[in-house]
Chains A and B, each alone.
Chain A
């Protein structure tokens, strides 16, 4: 019992210090009143931050946009991730390690560096427009950066490994004779995929979707650096309220509501992970 306590104590201390305490402080600020002083709030149980969120549809739209963009990102990651995971799962074991390393390689470079690389590719004087102009395929540079497409490309690039890894784990465990049995019973490969591979690996697909969706819903950097100005995702709005408007109660309320919104998918993800 004592040994158990000794082992668990650092974990609990960590959770208390870096999860529970900040969450408590955040909740306290969310219920506080805004104040022009330093810090820019006065502790109270006013709930004015939440009231502001409810009054202005601007915030509601921010949540809607964030969830929509996160959903599209997660969907695209699934569409791209399935063929990638299948290819890796079917490769020879030696080659598998190489392919997984290539998948993880971008992770080992700086996140901002990767966003910077995308900007370098997509901006008006960037590499893509340079090539198109040189080849005479376009008269004027295409407007690629600061579009929803650029934002989604950046998001999918950043989150794709989160989708591929759980799919790979499920596909590599999938008994290949199941697909052979389906084909033996008259299913063409596409039908066998839809009727056997996909349903058997559906829990992993749901996990992969959520693993992308949950962090993508609060994403700030990529929409800010690559997205169109009108793409006001909740992460961006939160940043603006906090740093530009210095309205800490509204910013904190946004964070609390986002957390509550994501509790359901997080719980769902945990359930999927707990399945045998």
Chain B
């Protein structure tokens, strides 16, 4: 069931169009990621949902009712800010109790809920501390607790893992998902990190230029990008320009013919680095010849940069179990399955 719907939401800042008639639907209890680069409009959308910005046009519907005119303090959403925005003059417990006090919850009940929520985020016994006495990870949990204690129907998270170091990121990511399942609230996360979005979210909306470029389950949009932009943004696929020709795709820059299910109007194809095999020679469609320009060892595989005869540079992941990767300067053949060629209509 749809919880929140954006319907043609448009927002301008001076001459820049931050959101361009954007449509989006967020379901009850799902973990939703707004993924995009800077200037994609993802943060503006989050601020419009929270009520800090008003859309210039379009509607924002909660349970089918337009809430564009509802101020932030009256919306059943809460936000975890990227900077955490903890109140520096209050203890951790007072920070978490802030929203409950505004809602008129009595002291005893508020104290009970604050303690339970702090326990939920793993901060028992930290209630008396001040924000400046906490580590970055602990502050993040206080910010999370301060939002979650309100039992929002929708929790907005602005780059929730952005300020954490790499080791803490993965653990916190899993904890966020666990909290989301536990509370049953819908989580809407803004991130510029495609790995984070794919790992955490049930559904991802890829934003580009104030519009939704593609929306879907992480695996679906990862495997079937709908455009060159999506293919490049979601995990560094090879994108090769060319033209469709009677069911095949001719790429002059690669000097390669791609065969597969290539519809008319295909403008480019995407090919994942891990779907390309290194062979001795090349023969027919879905093969190529090239020279290894560089090799980077990545642990479970090596990334090869292969200059094709047509001039294009192809990224190829060479798995460790296939033996030692070809050395720099080696002339190699490449091959892939027809089913791994993703035709891009835009």
A and B are partners in one complex rather than unrelated chains: yes
Known: A180-B52, A181-B79. A187 touches B85 (CB 8 A): no
Contact, CB under 8 Å: B78 / A185:
yes
**Number of A-B residue pairs at CB separation under 8 A:** 61
Known: A184-B50, A186-B99. A177 touches B81 (CB 8 A): yes
* Chain B positions 220 through 232: 1 when the CB is less than 8 Å from some CB of chain A, otherwise 0: 0000000000000
CA distance A185 to B72 in the complex (A): 8
Residue of B nearest to A177 (CB): B85
- B150 in contact (CB, < 8 A): yes
User: Of residues 146 to 187 in A, which have CB atoms within 8 Å of B's CB atoms?
Assistant: 175, 177-178, 180-187
User: Of residues 42 to 93 in B, which have CB atoms within 8 Å of A's CB atoms?
Assistant: 50-52, 71-74, 77-79, 81, 83, 85-89
Contact, CB under 8 Å: A177 / B87:
no
- A199 in contact (CB, < 8 A): yes
Contact, CB under 8 Å: B89 / A181:
no
- A200 in contact (CB, < 8 A): yes
- B98 in contact (CB, < 8 A): yes
Residues in A whose Cβ lies below 8 Å from that of B74: 186
Question: Which residue of the partner chain, among A188, A199, A202, contacts B73 with CB atoms under 8 Å?
Answer: A188
Contact, CB under 8 Å: A175 / B102:
no
Contact, CB under 8 Å: A187 / B52:
no
CA distance A270 to B78 in the complex (A): 40
- B11 in contact (CB, < 8 A): no
CA distance A175 to B85 in the complex (A): 8
- A196 in contact (CB, < 8 A): yes
Residue of B nearest to A180 (CB): B52
Residue of B nearest to A201 (CB): B89
CA distance A177 to B86 in the complex (A): 9
- B146 in contact (CB, < 8 A): yes
Closest Cβ of chain A to B149, distance in Å, is: 9
Partner-B contacts on A (CB < 8 A):
175, 177-178, 180-188, 191, 195-196, 199-200, 202
- Can you name 22 A-B pairs with beta carbons within 8 Å? A177-B83, A177-B85, A178-B85, A180-B50, A180-B52, A181-B81, A181-B85, A181-B87, A182-B87, A183-B71, A184-B72, A185-B73, A185-B78, A185-B102, A185-B147, A186-B102, A186-B103, A186-B150, A187-B73, A188-B73, A199-B89, A200-B88
